[in-house]
C-alpha cells in the first residue's frame, strides 16, 4: 500500500485480485471485495476470437508491472481502476489520509501515457479554476479561451467533496458530456477523458457531500483501506530511503500505451458479448436492492448498465470476449456501493452498505 515494490509478473495480476501470497490484500478488502468466491462454471467452448483481447490481457499485465515499480500492493484497487478505465468509466477512491490514493492514480497515469492533471479541491475553488476562462488579449483585440486543468486525459480531483456545488456541477458536465462549456461555448475534452476523485470518509466538517446524481457518474467507488501488517512492514522497508517527493517516472514507471491505443482497447471492450441470461441476473440483483428493507434507495437501471460494462472490462482483462457470471459478481460491490443508500436504523445497528450488498449477492440465484 503506497509507493514502491519489486516487479510482479503480469500473469500474477491477471489471475485474480488476490494472486501473490507475499502481497496480501488489506483485511477489509479481503473480506468484502473477495467474499463472493468464484464458483465452477461451464465456460463457452474455445473460439478463435479477436486477437485484440489477448493484447488487452498483455497490456493490463504490463501496466501492473509498471505500476508495481512505484506502488506496494494495492492489487485489487489497481485491477478495479484498470477495469473502469477500459470500460470508459470514472473512479471514486475513498480512504483515510496517507494510504497512497493519489500516488496510485499518478502511477497508473504514468504507465498509460497521455496527459495528467491534478486539482486540489477547496471551498473557494471556482468553476473557471477547473474548466478555464476567456482572457482578453489587447494586441489581438479579442478574447481567447485559456484551457483549465480539466483538459487532460487523466484528471485527479483530490478531496472532491471540499468544493462547493457550483464547481462540482462544472465537473459533472465534463464527466457526462466529455465537454466543458465556458461563456456559452462548448469545448471538447481530449479522448479518452477519465476522472479519478478522492475523498476522506473521516472528515465531514467544511465538506460538500456529493449529490446522488454526481455519485452515479462514477463507475466504481473503490475503498482504499490500511494495509495488512505484513504488507505495511514491507512497505516501510522499501520506501524509507526514497526521496520524499519521488515521482513515479523517477521510480522507473514507463508508459506502455498511448491515448490512441487505449481508445482502441476501450472500443474492443464494448464488443465483449453478454450471455442471454446475464441481463436477467443483473435485473434480479437490482430489484433485490430496491426490495431490501435495509436500504432506503436501491440501484437504478443505469446502475445495471454500468455493472454490465464493468463486467465486460473484467472479461477483457482475463483475455475473454464473453462475460461470465463471476465477472458480474467481482464488480458488484465497487459498482453498487455508492448507488444505494443504507437505512439509518441499519447503520445505527452497526450494519454497512457492503454487508447488505454481499448478503443480496449471496441470496440471488446465479445463472449456470
Can you give the CATH number for the domain in which 147 is found? Answer: 3.40.50.300
pLDDT of res. 42:
44
In-domain check, residue 3: no
Bond preceding residue 192 cis, omega within 30 of 0 = yes
pLDDT of res. 340:
96
How many domains, the chain?
A: 1
For 228-258, the DSSP string reads PHHHHHHHHHHHTTS-TT--GGGGT------
pLDDT of res. 49:
59
In-domain check, residue 1: no
pLDDT of res. 43:
46
In-domain check, residue 2: no
pLDDT of res. 177:
92
Q: Which domain holds residue 248?
A: 10-363
Burial grade of 274 (CB within 10 A; 0-12, 13-18, 19 or more): middle
**pLDDT tens, residue by residue, 138-172:** 888 888 999 999 999 999 999 999 999 889 888 98
In-domain check, residue 5: no
Where in the chain does DSSP place strands (E)? 90-94, 116-120, 132-137, 142-147, 154-158, 179-182, 185-188, 194-199, 218-223, 295-297, 341-342
**pLDDT tens, residue by residue, 291-340:** 999 999 999 999 999 999 999 999 999 999 999 999 999 999 999 999 99
In-domain check, residue 329: yes
Q: List CB contacts of 148: < 8 A, sequence separation 6 or more.
A: 128, 129, 130, 131, 132, 133, 180
pLDDT of res. 22:
39
pLDDT of res. 33:
44
Which residue stretches of the chain have pLDDT < 50?
A: 1, 3-48
Distances in whole angstroms, Cα of residue 202 to Cα of each of 31, 97, 123, 228: 21, 9, 17, 20
In-domain check, residue 280: yes
In-domain check, residue 75: yes
Amino acid at each position: 500500500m503506497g509507493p514502491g515494490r519489486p516487479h510482479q509478473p503480469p500473469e500474477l495480476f491477471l489471475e485474480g485480485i488476490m494472486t501473490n501470497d507475499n502481497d496480501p490484500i488489506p483485511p477489509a478488502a479481503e473480506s468484502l471485495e473477495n467474499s463472493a468466491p468464484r464458483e465452477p462454471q461451464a465456460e463457452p467452448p474455445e473460439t478463435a476470437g479477436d486477437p485484440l483481447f489477448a493484447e488487452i490481457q498483455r497490456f493490463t499485465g504490463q501496466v501492473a508491472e509498471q505500476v508495481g515499480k512505484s506502488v506496494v500492493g494495492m492489487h485489487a484497487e489497481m485491477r478495479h481502476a484498470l477495469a473502469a478505465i477500459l470500460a470508459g468509466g470514472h473512479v471514486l477512491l475513498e480512504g483515510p489520509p496517507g494510504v497512497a490514493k493519489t500516488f496510485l492514480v499518478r502511477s497508473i497515469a504514468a504507465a498509460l501515457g497521455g496527459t495528467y492533471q491534478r486539482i486540489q479541491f477547496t471551498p473557494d475553488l471556482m468553476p473557471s479554476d477547473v474548466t478555464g476562462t476567456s482572457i482578453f488579449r489587447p494586441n489581438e483585440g479579442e478574447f481567447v479561451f485559456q484551457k483549465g486543468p480539466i483538459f487532460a486525459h487523466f484528471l485527479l480531483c483530490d478531496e472532491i467533496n471540499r468544493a462547493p456545488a457550483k464547481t462540482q456541477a462544472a465537473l459533472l458536465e465534463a464527466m457526462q458530456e466529455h465537454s466543458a462549456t465556458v461563456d456559452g461555448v462548448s469545448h471538447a475534452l481530449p479522448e479518452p477523458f477519465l476522472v479519478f476523485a478522492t475523498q476522506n470518509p473521516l472528515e465531514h466538517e467544511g465538506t460538500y457531500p456529493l449529490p446522488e446524481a454526481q455519485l452515479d457518474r462514477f463507475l466504481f467507488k473503490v475503498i482504499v483501506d490500511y494495509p495488512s501488517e505484513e504488507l505495511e512492514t514491507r512497505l516501510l522497508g522499501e520506501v524509507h530511503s526514497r526521496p520524499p517527493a519521488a515521482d513515479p517516472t523517477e521510480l522507473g514507471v514507463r508508459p506502455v500505451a498511448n491515448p490512441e491505443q487505449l481508445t482502441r482497447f476501450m472500443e474492443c471492450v464494448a464488443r465483449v458479448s453478454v450471455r442471454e441470461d446475464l441481463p436477467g441476473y443483473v435485473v434480479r440483483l437490482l430489484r433485490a436492492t430496491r426490495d431490501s428493507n435495509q436500504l432506503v434507495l436501491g440501484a437504478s437501471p443505469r446502475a445495471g448498465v454500468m455493472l454490465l460494462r464493468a463486467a465486460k472490462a473484467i472479461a477483457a482483462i482475463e483475455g475473454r470476449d464473453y462475460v461470465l457470471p463471476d465477472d458480474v459478481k467481482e464488480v458488484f460491490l465497487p459498482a453498487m456501493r455508492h448507488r444505494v443508500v443504507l437505512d439509518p436504523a441499519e447503520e445505527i445497528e452497526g450494519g454497512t452498505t457492503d454487508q447488505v450488498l454481499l448478503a443480496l449477492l449471496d441470496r440471488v440465484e446465479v445463472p449456470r
